Amino acid sequence: MGYAKLSVTIPQEVYEEIKNVSFRNNVKLSRLVTEAISDKLRRIKEQALIDQINKVFDDPEVSEEQRRMAESIADNTDVEELPW
């Protein structure tokens, strides 16, 4: 994997905090910032996927089909046979 330099401006107190966390955890500042950005990007992508799924299920036809499927599965499942 290649690397690129990035210059950003952040509040001084945030900089001091990440420097302290980096020092206390014996982690390079670049690594800490990379992990934080990667985590934020992952959460943004997850939320976008959840929003997309919710949009699909907001469709009344899809919701009705899901309800019918759930009822059909429930009607055809013998709860006593399920391993608990």
User: Quick one: pLDDT at residue 23?
Assistant: 97
CA distance 47 to 57: 15
pLDDT of residue 64: 87
Helices 60-75 and 29-57 sit at what angle, rounded to 10 degrees?
90
pLDDT in tens, the chain (84 residues): 899 999 999 999 999 999 999 999 999 999 999 999 999 999 999 999 999 988 888 888 888 888 899 899 888 877 676 666
Is the Cβ–Cβ distance between 22 and 28 less than 8 Å? yes
d(CA 12, CA 66): 51
d(CA 46, CA 53): 11
Residue 19's pLDDT is: 97
> For the whole prediction, is pTM greater than 0.85?
no
Task: Report the alpha-carbon distance of residue 47 to residue 54 in Å, rounded.
Answer: 10
